[in-house]
């Protein structure tokens, strides 16, 4: 876990309740090899003391533009030049507004204006504040200037409400920073196409068939692929997750939509990873008007959807193909059958059920290939995805030049 070795992270901490997570973020970044210098706003010190950050970072905290000792040699310029990345986490609605306006009325905003390093923000605020048109306009403006926006996530908030606005977890931010600053790796120069999330198959304008996939594993795999140096494209079913930094995202709804998007994005792909829970069946006769409740029962005829994974694996110019198998029992048996039947290069299988995997943050995988197997996890989906991507890179390299050449030739 040393993908940030040699990187200097200037971490700006602002005055939001999510500041309590920032010391853990410092620890996560340092675990990956980064040097971390914390800069606090006055509001941040209302939530966490500078001494806490000094203890976890190993560096004195800077919190004052008018510090005679720090500014004796134009310290804010020195810090701005030192940083590989300026990361603000949490980034409150106030700091987003001041950055968008180009303000320089404290040390942190002055550093952002004075740096030539990349800038990233991890927003954290009440869901209504995040949805406000002013905040959205500020975020759009910052994005247009090249600022990376990490999140926010959605869920229960400190105020007791639920919705978008939660700061991403420190581990996820650290992975995102790795993707931003460590573009080289075992998959450098390779193109990875990933599918994620469920599909929805229309019954009528208000109803559909779907499943419990949250997309979390697929998004973690996409972040891990980017951190490994790959160019990553992700085709997603309906999910409410922030796009991993550096990843291009294509949103779809149905299995047919996903097949069309995958076929469009496949040329030039070296590795295809199918984490999506794509519907096996769809209503045979969807209707344009809401079906009314008229009887005690309702029969719904279903027809098979196209198997996207099998279609990719059957191509003459196929990439290295990785499938997923979610099973409630006999996991290895059914996964091995799927590996052989669809002629996959690798398959990652897990056991699912009412209280397993779906909508959870942890996972465990059994990964199979023709003459091998490996257990990954249990652990967070982020950690398991990193291990999986390492194994994919290892197996991709082991197959020799044939698969790699197929992807390269299709790019010519």
Domain-terminating residue out of 124, 156, 181: 181
Residues 142 and 260 in one domain: no
Q: Which of 67-71, 173-177, 181-185 has the highest mean pLDDT?
A: 173-177
Listed in sequence order, the residues at least 6 apart from 101 whose beta carbon sits closer than 8 Å to its beta carbon are: none
Q: In total, how many domains does the chain have?
A: 2
Higher model confidence: residue 172 or residue 411? 172
pLDDT computed for residue 182 by the predictor: 59
Residue 402 tokens read as 């044939």
| Catalytic choice (51, 101, 131, 159) | 159
Residue 315's domain comprises 191-410
What confidence tens digit (pLDDT) does each residue in 3-36 have?
Answer: 687 789 999 999 999 999 999 999 999 998 889 9
146 falls within a domain: yes
- 346 in helix, strand or coil? strand
Respond yes or no on whether the N-terminal peptide bond of residue 378 is cis (omega within 30° of 0). yes
Residues 95 and 114 in one domain: yes
- 314 in helix, strand or coil? coil
Q: Is the pLDDT of residue 373 over 70?
A: yes
Residues 148 and 275 in one domain: no
pLDDT computed for residue 131 by the predictor: 93
Quick one: which of 141, 34, 157, 190 has its CA closest to 90? 157
Question: Is residue 236 annotated as a catalytic residue, yes or no?
Answer: no
Assessment of whether the complete model's pTM goes beyond 0.75 = no
List, as own/partner pairs, every contact residues 347-352 make where C-beta atoms lie below 8 angstroms and the sequence separation is at least 24, other chains included: 347/322, 347/323, 348/322, 348/323, 348/324, 348/376, 348/388, 349/324, 349/325, 350/324, 350/325, 350/326, 351/327, 352/326, 352/327, 352/328
What confidence tens digit (pLDDT) does each residue in 376-399 have?
Answer: 988 989 999 999 999 999 999 988
Residues 175 and 197 in one domain: no
The CATH number that applies at residue 352 is 3.40.50.10300
pLDDT computed for residue 356 by the predictor: 53
- What number of other Cβ atoms are within 10 A of residue 212's Cβ? 12
Domain-terminating residue out of 122, 154, 181: 181
Cα separation of 328 and 351, whole Å?
5
pLDDT category of residue 63 using cuts at 50, 70 and 90? confident
pLDDT category of residue 144 using cuts at 50, 70 and 90? confident
Q: Is the pLDDT of residue 154 over 80?
A: yes
The lowest-confidence range among 72-76, 376-380, 407-411 is 407-411
Residues 161 and 197 in one domain: no
1 falls within a domain: no
155 falls within a domain: yes
Residues 209 and 325 in one domain: yes
Residue 110 tokens read as 């002055």
Cα separation of 228 and 175, whole Å?
11
Residues 106 and 229 in one domain: no
């Amino acid at each position: 876990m040393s993908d940030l070795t040699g990187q200097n992270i200037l971490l700006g901490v602002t005055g939001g309740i999510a500041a309590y997570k920032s010391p853990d973020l410092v620890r996560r970044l340092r675990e990956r090899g980064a040097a971390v210098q914390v800069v606090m706003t006055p509001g941040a010190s209302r939530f966490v003391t500078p001494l806490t950050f000094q203890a976890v970072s190993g560096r004195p905290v800077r919190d004052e533009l008018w510090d005679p000792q720090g500014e004796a040699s134009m310290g804010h310029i020195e810090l701005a030049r030192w940083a590989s990345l300026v990361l603000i986490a949490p980034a409150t609605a106030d700091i987003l507004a001041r950055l968008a306006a180009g303000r320089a009325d404290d040390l942190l905003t002055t550093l952002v204006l004075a740096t030539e390093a990349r800038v990233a923000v991890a927003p954290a605020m009440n869901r209504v504040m995040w949805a406000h048109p002013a905040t959205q306009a500020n975020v759009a403006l910052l994005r247009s200037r090249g600022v990376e926006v990490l999140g926010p996530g959605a869920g229960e908030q400190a105020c007791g409400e639920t919705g978008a606005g939660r700061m991403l977890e420190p581990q996820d931010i650290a992975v995102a920073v790795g993707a931003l600053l460590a573009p080289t790796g075992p998959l450098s120069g390779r193109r990875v196409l990933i599918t994620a999330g469920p599909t929805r198959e229309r019954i009528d304008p208000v109803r559909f068939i779907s499943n419990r996939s949250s997309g979390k594993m697929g998004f973690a795999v996409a972040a891990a692929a980017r951190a490994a140096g790959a160019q990553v494209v992700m085709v997603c079913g309906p999910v409410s997750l922030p796009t991993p930094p550096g990843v291009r995202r294509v949103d779809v709804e149905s299995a047919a939509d996903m097949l069309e998007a995958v076929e469009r994005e496949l040329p030039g792909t070296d590795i295809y990873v199918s984490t999506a829970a794509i519907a096996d069946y769809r209503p045979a006769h969807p209707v344009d008007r809401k079906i009314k409740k008229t009887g005690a029962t309702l029969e719904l005829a279903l027809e098979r959807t196209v198997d996207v994974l099998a279609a990719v694996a059957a191509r003459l110019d196929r990439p290295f193909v990785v499938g997923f198998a979610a099973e409630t029992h006999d996991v290895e048996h059914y996964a091995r059958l799927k590996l052989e039947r669809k002629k996959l290069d690798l398959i990652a299988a897990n056991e699912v059920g009412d209280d397993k995997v779906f909508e959870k943050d942890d996972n465990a995988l059994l990964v199979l290939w023709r003459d091998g197997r490996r257990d990954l996890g249990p652990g967070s989906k982020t950690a398991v995805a990193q291990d999986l991507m390492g194994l994919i890179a290892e197996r991709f390299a082991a197959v020799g030049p044939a698969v790699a050449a197929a992807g390269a030739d299709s790019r010519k």
